[in-house]
Amino acid sequence: MGRLAVPFVGFIVGLGFILALLCAVFFTPHDAPEETAASVFHKEPKEIHYASDGPFGRFDRQQLQRGFQVYKEVCSACHSLRLVAFRDLEEIGFSKAEVKAIAKNWATEVPTVDDKGEATTRKALPTDYIPAPYANETAARASNNNALPPDLSLIVKAREGGAPYVDSLLTGFQNPPAELLKRFPDAAPPPGLHYNPYFANLNIAMPPPLVADGQVSYSDGTKATVAQMAQDVSAFLIWTAEPKLEARHRAGIVAVVFLLIATGLAFAAYRNIWSGVKH
Amino acid sequence: MSFPWANHYAPKHPLMRWLDEKLPLPRLVYNAVGAGYPVPRNLNYMWNFGVLAGAALVIQIITGIVMAMHYAANAGVAFDSIEHTMRDVNAGWAMRYAHANGASMFFIVVYLHIFRGLYYGSYKAPREMVWLLGVVIFLLMMATAFMGYVLPWGQMSFWGAQVITGFFSAIPVIGEPIREWLLGGFAPDNAALNRFFSLHYLLPFVIAGVIVLHIWALHIPGSSNPTGVEVKGPQDTVPFHPYYTAKDGFGLGVFLIVFSLLMFFAPNALGHPDNYIPANPLSTPAHIVPEWYFWPFYAILRAFTFNFLWIPAKLWGVLAMFGAIALLFFLPWIDRSPVRSARYRPMYKWFFWVLVLDVFILGLCGMKPPEGIWVLLGQLAAIYYFAHFLVILPIVSAIERPLPLPMSITESVLGEEPATSGQPA
């Protein structure tokens, strides 16, 4: 009898769980989730390729510089980039002097104290992190219809879909389709929000930031179409989120090649040692 | 503790002889994982995963110690200290990605190790203690991984901590006070983060200690093998070194290749994007999802949606989720079949593979938002999970007629006709 105690108690406990689950199966509803405007009209990001894609991917530094220019002239009016310092810009091909000039001429200054200890601001230095456009969250919300423009440093890693999502969002603004309003009369964007099918709930507080070709004038002669600017700035944000991407790819290739050779040798050693033993 | 024909440690060099007299550490290693440990000659590649799990733990400890040198366990700066590691610390990105993906690799090899044990009946007498200690290691790993995931203090860190510690509040009356005591507050905050960091640093060494016991307990009866037939004589075994050190060396190479592909080329594939958003107690993510290795248990938790016997569904879910792991402790006494290996268990073999499929389905349900078909599927899969261990296994082990076993390991290797073939299959 004693030897059957565990299976018996287990059987009773199991029966309890199974009955509870059977009741859950039969007595709680399993309706398919109701269709919402977002579940029907939300779109997956477009397929966009970047120079940094794939195991051999490297940054296109010209593109990153163009993307930085878009950030500087458009995005930085509302979005901070708090994890990137000016000095980091040397990694995307700016010279020391250029970085110094970029920091010095940045639209927002860096908070500091003067000789008397009074709060003031000073021009940015290469060692400074890129100053945020707003002093704090309250100021940011006050200027943006109570919406908070997110920091962009990690945005590519912090959103499902990554850089193509950012690109799709930037170019995805449109008027709500007639069919949307026909099927979901309440789905019209509330005042102050903008219809964008790539945004999770379709209505985003950000107004379309890239509105016209030539909004930014690129110094390398690239034509600044909206699509081009969106791609450049999303490529730039891949770099801000993952500045060590190239080192990672390079190290990865070395590691995998080394391991393939080492594992091949290990396999040969294993076969050699076992050669006389049937197993 | 070993077979009589085991090689004996005989130090040749005077220095080693001197050391052996004072502190027989080389002897211990020799007997544990050297030529002094006779191992069945017929182990297949499924027997690689124990060593790989050990390697994964070592990688986690080394990368983790380096990470801790740059990490600040303070809710105000924890997130940025991780980003500092990623951006400004030499090879910090490598340490961090190795550690984050190393956790996944650890769980992959441990799950394979566990399912190996289930298929080949490694949990049965005389190896019950090995299995029990293994389940303890598994539980400690889950606790460690959970607390580690909280440390970056991203959105999923915070809300994951909120949900997991919320399990305790399902306990009637004392649940909520226990939760607050564990967290050191009403919600996860600096107090919780600090103690999680402290425990996250401690538990891996506890795991290492239990692994020593796990291996110690294993060495009493010696390793099991794919036939499940016990070792009968010297012809059945080979010394661990060089035979299995060589095989494990090859296995380790394959493991590291997979690990490298993951950490160098898709380091965020298994993570959740929300954890790159700093923790914000005022903004709940649309779907709170744990890391992939918890998905099957998360699905079991959420499968209970009915207040059966007036016990709240949430309490059922929590009990079932812990029960799903706790029942593993009783497995050696639930499965009473005298035959170990599923090779010779025609019915059990089928149910084993259904269980594997079932756990995959549970995992999928744990990943998906709890709506529509996923809820029903999760409930059915959870029913099978409990039915498998608590109903099917006892019945199968009672009524199944096992296939004839080989007389010995050597016989099965050399492919002779089983001497017991006269018996009906």
Interval A87-109: pLDDT, tens: 999 999 999 999 999 999 999 99
Buried-exposed string B171-202: b where 16+ CB fall within 10 A, e elsewhere: eeeebeeebeeebeeeebbeebbeebbeebbe
Of A261 and A4, more confident? A261
Residue matched to tokens 């910090």: B92
CA–CA dist A112, A119 (Å, integer): 6
- Calculate how close chain A gets to B414, using CA atoms only, in Å: 7
Residues of chain B positioned with their CB less than 8 A from the CB of A27: 306
The band of B372, judged by pLDDT with boundaries at 50, 70 and 90, is: confident
In the annotation, is B397 catalytic? no
Task: Find how far residue A134's CA is from the centre of its chain.
Answer: 21
Amino acid of residue B352: F
Q: Looking at chain B, which residues constitute the CATH 1.10.287 domain(s)?
A: 289-403
Active-site option among B104, B157, B224, B248: B248
Searching chain B, which residue's CA lies closest to the CA of residue A243? B87
In the annotation, is B247 catalytic? yes
CA–CA dist A255, A277 (Å, integer): 33
> Regarding the domain delimited by A34-58+157-268, which CATH topology (the fold level of the hierarchy) does it fall under?
Cytochrome Bc1 Complex; Chain D, domain 2 (1.10.760)
Active-site option among B219, B230, B349, B400: B219
B250/A266 Cβ within 8 A: yes
Helix (H) / strand (E) containing A120: strand A119-122
Other beta carbons less than 10 A from residue A71's beta carbon: 21
Q: β-strands B237-239, B38-40: how paired?
A: antiparallel
CA–CA dist B334, B390 (Å, integer): 7
Q: Is the pLDDT of residue B305 over 70?
A: yes
In the annotation, is B180 catalytic? no
Non-local CB neighbours of A10 within 8 Å, separated by 6+ positions: B327, B330, B334, B389, B390, B394
Predicted confidence at residue B416, as pLDDT, reads: 60
Residue range B13-48, pLDDT digits in tens: 999 999 999 999 999 999 998 999 999 999 999 999
CB-nearest to A154 from B261, B276, B336 is: B276
Searching chain B, which residue's CA lies closest to the CA of residue A18? B383
Q: Is the pLDDT of residue A1 over 70?
A: no
Residue matched to tokens 């990470």: B67
Residues 31-90 of B with CB under 8 A from A: 41-43, 80, 83, 86-87
> Regarding the domain delimited by B289-403, which CATH topology (the fold level of the hierarchy) does it fall under?
Helix Hairpins (1.10.287)
B391/A14 Cβ within 8 A: yes
Residue matched to tokens 């199974």: A18
Predicted confidence at residue A137, as pLDDT, reads: 95
3-state secondary structure of B202: helix
Searching chain B, which residue's CA lies closest to the CA of residue A19? B308
Q: Mean pLDDT, chain B, as a whole number?
A: 94
Phi-psi region of B175 (alpha: psi -120 to 50; beta: other; left: phi over 0): alpha
A251/B94 Cβ within 8 A: yes
Q: Confirm or reject contact between B267 and chain A (CB < 8 A).
A: yes
Q: Is the pLDDT of residue A41 over 50?
A: yes
Residues of chain A positioned with their CB less than 8 A from the CB of B305: 24, 28
DSSP for B102-119, written as a single string:
HHHHHHHHHHHHHHHHHH
B257/A259 Cβ within 8 A: yes
Q: According to CATH, what is the number of the domain B34-284?
A: 1.20.810.10
pLDDT, mean of residues B308-336: 93
Active-site option among B99, B124, B200, B247: B247
CB-nearest to B334 from A10, A31, A159 is: A10
B303/A21 Cβ within 8 A: yes
The band of B424, judged by pLDDT with boundaries at 50, 70 and 90, is: very low
Q: Looking at chain B, which residues constitute the CATH 1.20.810.10 domain(s)?
A: 34-284
pLDDT, mean of residues B146-162: 96
Q: Confirm or reject contact between B126 and chain A (CB < 8 A).
A: no
Helix (H) / strand (E) containing B239: strand B237-239
Q: Mean pLDDT, chain A, as a whole number?
A: 94
pLDDT, mean of residues A225-233: 97
Give the start-to-end residue ranges of the domains of chain A.
34-58+157-268
> The complex's ipTM?
0.94
Other beta carbons less than 10 A from residue A217's beta carbon: 10
Residues 272-301 of B with CB under 8 A from A: 273-274, 276-277, 286
pLDDT, mean of residues B147-175: 94
Give me the residues paired with residue A194 across strands: A204
Q: What 8-state DSSP symbol labels residue A85? A: B
3-state secondary structure of A267: helix
